[in-house]
Amino acid sequence: MTKTILGLSGSLRRASFNAGLLRAAADVAPEGARIQIGSIREVPLYNADLEDASGLPAAVRTLQAQLAEADGLLLVTPEYNNGVPGVFKNAIDWMSRGDGLAMFVGKPVAVIGASPGGFGTILAQSHWLPVLRTLKAELWAEGRLMVSRAGSVFDDQGNLTDAKTRETLRNFLGGFAASLRGA
């Protein structure tokens, strides 16, 4: 049975390195696993008044349904100002509303990312730790993937072009997929 991993990119930019890394992850997913690419693009800024008046937005309900069906979650995070991008954190905050929090409890999560800088996304990945702990998600920490100097391994459209990075990604995903229970 195929294991499904919900993949989310934390960038809204069309030619984003992280959206490209997520697309590459879907391309190199190991046999017996598939990456379902979700989108945070239509998730509004969190506002409790909006939630009280209208309930969860459709984009959030879609993400929650995808998360509920997934065996694991792959967060592909940019690093903005040495931390987690606000738009990405906002989407996860929305996803945890209503019945969403229960969907995170015990859910295996892996975090990867790409950055034009020399340190990859080490600080953003670390900043996800308290969030994942609060959500009671199960962080998969047996592998680590940070793509540094992303401009040299992605093309102008944000596509991963470097064979070595692609192989590293393939190996990372193989380890994560092998750790998933269930399917």
Of 3.40.50.360, 3.30.470.20, 3.30.465.10, 3.40.50.300, which CATH number belongs to 3-179? 3.40.50.360
Domain locations along the chain? 3-179
Give the whole-angstrom CA distance, residue 48 versus residue 142: 37
Is the pTM of the predicted complex or chain greater than 0.85?
A: yes
Q: Give dist(CA 75, CA 170) in Å, integer.
A: 16
> So what's the pLDDT on residue 143?
87
Q: Identify any residues that bridge with 74 across adjacent strands, giving them in sequence order.
A: 7, 110
Q: What CA–CA distance (Å, rounded) separates 182 from 179? A: 10
d(CA 173, CA 83): 23
- 113 DSSP β-pair partners: 146
pLDDT at 173 (0 to 100): 98
Q: How far apart are CA 151 and CA 132, in angstroms?
A: 29
Residue 182: its pLDDT value, please? Answer: 56
Q: Does residue 163 contact residue 15 with C-beta atoms inside 8 Å?
A: no
Max CA distance (Å), the chain: 50
Q: In this predicted structure, what is the pLDDT of residue 183?
A: 45
Query: Could you tell me the mean pLDDT of each successive run of 10 residues in the chain, 183 residues long?
Result: 96 95 98 97 97 97 98 97 96 96 98 94 96 98 94 96 98 97 60
